[in-house]
Amino acid sequence: MKTKQLLAALALVVTAGAVQAEVKVDGFLQGLFGGRLDEKNPTATEYTASESRLQLRLEQVGDKNEFFGRMDFTYDAADSAGMDWELREAYMKARLGNNFDLKVGRQILTWGTGDLIFINDVFAKDYRSFFVGRDDQYLKAPQNALRLEYYGGIGSISLVWTPRFEPNRLPTGRTLSYYNPFVGQIVGEGYYFDVPRPASKFENSEVAARYSRQVGGFNTAFYFYKGFYKNPLGAVMVDGQPMPVYPKVNIYGASMRGQILGGIAWVEGGYFDSRQDRDGDQPLMPNSSATWLTGFERQIATNLTVNAQWQGDLMMEYDKYKVGQEFMGGYVRDELYHLLTTRITKLLHSELVTLSAFVFYSPTDEDMYARLNAEYKYTDQVTFALGANIFDGNSPATSFGQFQRNDNLFFKVTYNY
């Protein structure tokens, strides 16, 4: 697989050389260094990041189509002490007639309305990058996909087909510890495991669809997804041992977003139909749930923007879940889960300095996660950033509580070319 990707990358570079006159090349060089603040973290390394990264972007644009490639080369000095690389994007985009757009290849996909809360955005996320201070663009993991979009009088329709299921990238115990329910504690390197992806079969491919249109001043959308939970939320018994899996799910959702009260407001909801546990009586599979979020953002003073969000998640068949969890001695969440978030962004010094804080807090799970970041654009090319990721929680089994040993501080310098 890696060899194929490398060949593709080389082909990109060679093609770029051949038609250099029409190809735009840019990117950045970056150093990211981060250390953990918690001595009791059971990871093998004290660094949460020590990497040098080169991103190379190639673009070729025609009247009706365009090619774009983005390739990352990294050297990890803390963990594997090795060179690595990833094809982040490599796609062709074409306009077909007046109403259709097609995008084929490796790509980053986003939709929905939430700020760092995703309901109908079922595209792969990379929390390993997110939690150690990599740039925001790395929260999104690429997918090999085909996207067809229709734009017309009735509104717009997007169809995304991902032949091979692409899961979220979660902490694995190497540089970031996590809670392993099979062991019942926060674990590090020794419990590193790879969750098997659903077999590469046509019936296992992911389908995501969105229909949207403008209703009054509001952008209104409906969503559908058929695929798998992006996190390994379920398990199956193999030879008497539980093995984690990505359970099947359908998601039906809707959202609205628009300008109101001098700011932007959004609401979004989704029903997660857990296809392998519709009755809620499989204790190793997630229950279906209805989840929604609402948020509001406003500029409250010059260069100072604040937003707030509330997410609720109502579990179906809660009684059966509770019995099952209590029987297994696992963490029992509330039937109705709440998550509150707020983001504050302040720009200073002619927008060269950006200070931001993003805090997640769940009153029902009693856990929190704070992202703090200060960035200074020293020149158009050079940017310095200093930041921290702080986790806390009463239980090691909750969404953020499980990462409570991973508090870290990072420094980043980027040279754009």
Partner 1 sequence: MKRISTLTGLVLATGLLWTAALAQDAAEIMQKSHLAYYYAGNDGQTDVRMTLADKKGGERIREFTMLRLDKEDGGDQKYYTYFRQPSDVARLTFMVYKSATGNDQRWIYVPSVDLVKPISADDKNSSFVGSDFTYEDVSGRHWTEDKHTLVREDQLNGKAVHVIESVPLKPYKGFAKRLSYIDKTSFLPLKEEYFDDKGVMTRILRADKIEDIDGITTVTIRSMENVKKGSKTTVAFNSIKYNVGLKDDIFTERYLKTPPREYVK
* Residues at the site binding partner 1, with contacts judged by CB under 8 A: 26-28, 59, 61-64, 66, 93, 95, 101, 107-111, 136-137, 139-140, 149, 151, 156, 217, 219, 257-259, 262-264, 297-299, 302-303, 305, 350-352, 379-381, 383, 414, 416-417
Q: Hey, how many other C-beta atoms are within 10 angstroms of the C-beta on 203?
A: 6
Closer Cβ to partner 1, 297 or 392, answer by number: 297
Residues 6+ apart with CB under 8 A from 10: none
Nearer to partner 1, 36 or 140 (CB): 140
- The whole-angstrom separation of Cα 283 and Cα 324 is 5
**How far is 254 from 225, CA to CA, in rounded Å?**
12
Residue 149 vs residues 153, 164, 189, 362: alpha-carbon distances, Å: 13, 20, 43, 37
CB of 87 to partner 1, least distance (A): 15
Q: Are 385 and 411 in contact (CB under 8 A)?
A: yes
In 3D, which of 27, 23, 74 has the Cα closest to residue 381?
27
Residue nearer to partner 1 on the CB measure, 147 or 405 = 147
How far, in Å, CA of 61 to CA of 69, rounded? 12
Closest approach of partner 1 to the CB of residue 299, in Å:
5
What tokens does 136 get? 């925001």
| Closer residue to partner 1, CB minimum distance, 287 or 309 | 309
Least Å from the CB of residue 245 to partner 1: 28
3-state secondary structure (DSSP) of residue 171 = coil
Rounded to the nearest whole angstrom, what is the least distance from the CB of residue 49 to partner 1 in the complex? 19
Output the smallest distance, CB 254 to partner 1, in A.
Answer: 17
Q: Which is nearer to partner 1, 14 or 261 (CB)?
A: 261
Any idea which residue has 């392993």 for tokens? 180
Give the whole-angstrom CA distance, residue 337 versus residue 13: 49
Residue 347 CB, nearest approach to partner 1 (Å): 8
Residue closer to partner 1 by CB (options 79, 297) is 297
